[in-house]
Structure 1
């Protein structure tokens, strides 16, 4: 019941209840005085009037007092609870619940307060998560930059101290320095790109892209320059138009396929790509017959700086940011990305992109 209805009924009750109580009092008083006590009506009329007047005053005080107490209690109590909740929120305390067990305006206000409290709590938890991620990011950057820098310093000192005393050694040292510098450049580039994605500073230029034709060209390059057997499904040429930023799409596919090629350990290396429609999205599934990903690592592969095999990734120049960047780009396209893997058999990474609708 709304507060307005409650107040109207309360005011109505302040009129009806005293009248009803007065009628009952007169009947009850008349029975006692004139029937039970057998008093003379003529001589007792003045006393009857006095008692009735006193009764009216008592009835008005009691009924008005009780109704006022009831109405004020139903309003003041929830207001006091909301006031207390406001103070707790202002003091930074968010781990409590505001009960909204009413169906009136104060109940709606309590629900709004509870929704606000939950959002503030979620924001606080998200802030803590971001802060922890920032610290982890700084620690990971420091570690990943320190390793090649230490290596470069060592080789430079070797050249300066005359350890590389032959042209062949000097060339090997310089090649190693160049390789480590490239690793640092790649890491900084991916870190810069990831940071821009994280704060929505990467401009996306969406256009109509035929995903099937894109993969045809991409896989043809792999077929020409590697010994990997590539397959594209469906085998018959079809058109799958998606809404995508071509440059960012290329980064996604390159990252996924590069990971697949690095982890292929079979004599016959196979890379398969399947494209299909799923409701209002186009789904691309990239699979390989590589060594696979351990089950415990699979849920974390899209996290920043996560490496299923740190030693192998570090030696291969992996930054640990590639798949995190892929996930952010796919989500910016309005899609999702998932991975399935059987250790020793291979891995499949599937992502979706929105279909191109004419008029976009």
Structure 2
């Protein structure tokens, strides 16, 4: 439109100038006879009309050549994108409609590239999950089948050895069930399991949960202490899932913090958040493992087999539960202590 208007204005100005020039030449030039003949036999209006059309086309081509060149550049960019080069960016050379088109194409290309990358990551995640599940299910299942085969073929010396084989197969079966249960729960959480939200007092909830761990603590000669700066801290959460998350964190502290003989639970209010820190004083988590501690099937001690470690899903489930309820979880570990910190927005009650 800008090129059209510019060409039209220039054409009108030039036609008027040519008309005035012809009038001047008729009055004062030796060329008056040819001009008078053209005016008398053809007419000034048709001549000016033809001249104006030709002039307009020439001017429009001249003023729009940059636009045509930019259109070719945009077309070339679209061909690059169509060939699979989704990171190609069309240069923005103007602020008009063509510039807007180029910008829109670039934005669309970026969004499509991001979606494609997310799809690739999702596919890789699915494959990794299948690989991890296959490995962790196969290990106990192989042991179960091995001991059942010994029993089936009567390859045991006496009833004592038979009971020993049965006991091991039973323990492996329980581990297999725990792994399947954890995997099922992890899948449900990551597929958007509906939450049953209610007002929860985290001070009271963690106090009750710590009491339930007393027998387990006494077995390993450990102590759990709660330190709270507040008597009540209310958050909106799913109580059952919250219990599962902190059950995992405290169990983790018991399993890997026995050397420290103590688990501390610190609860405090920081601005508008409830902050809970679960601290154990056992062996530190190696610095290279900290970024991956919440990844599914990740075990810090690679030398430890699945028989002695967890399923590798406990902390992944905990992270999913915390984040599904709008919370955040992080971990830090030094030679002195390992801290799992969770944060939630506090309920703001109107006066």
TM more than 0.5: yes
Moved more, 181-190 or 81-90: 81-90
1:351 pairs with one of 339, 342, 350: 342
CA distance in 1 between counterparts of 2:14 and 2:231 reads 82
- The yes-or-no answer on 1:302 pairing with 2:294 is yes
2:332–2:338 contact (8 Å) kept in structure 1 = yes
- The yes-or-no answer on 1:46 pairing with 2:46 is no
Structure 2 unaligned spans of 5+: none
Task: Report the alpha carbon displacement of residue 164 of structure 1 after superposing the two structures with TM.
Answer: 3.2
Alignment of 1:1-360 (within 5 A): 4-5=1-2, 7-19=4-16, 41=28, 43-46=30-33, 61-62=54-55, 64-71=57-64, 73-74=66-67, 76-200=68-192, 202-226=193-217, 227-234=221-228, 236-266=229-259, 268-312=260-304, 314-342=306-334, 344-357=335-348
Deviation sequence 1:174-208 (CA, Å, 0-9, x none): 221111001111111111122222332x1211111
Give the TM-score normalised by structure 2: 0.83
Structure 1 pair 106–225 and aligned structure 2 pair: CA distance change class (3 A): same
Task: Report the alpha carbon displacement of residue 9 of structure 1 after superposing the two structures with TM.
Answer: 3.9
CA distance in 1 between counterparts of 2:85 and 2:278 reads 47
CA RMSD of aligned residues (A): 3.2
1:183–1:317 contact (8 Å) kept in structure 2 = no
SS of the residue 1:197 aligns to = helix
Task: Report the alpha carbon displacement of residue 149 of structure 1 after superposing the two structures with TM.
Answer: 1.3
CA distance in 2 between counterparts of 1:222 and 1:159 reads 37
SS of the residue 1:292 aligns to = coil
CA distance in 1 between counterparts of 2:81 and 2:286 reads 44
CA distance in 2 between counterparts of 1:101 and 1:42 reads 48
Q: How many residues align?
A: 341
Moved more, 142-151 or 92-101: 92-101
Deviation sequence 1:118-139 (CA, Å, 0-9, x none): 1111111111112122222222
Give the TM-score normalised by structure 1: 0.81
1:244–1:353 contact (8 Å) kept in structure 2 = no
SS of the residue 1:205 aligns to = coil
CA distance in 2 between counterparts of 1:270 and 1:11 reads 87
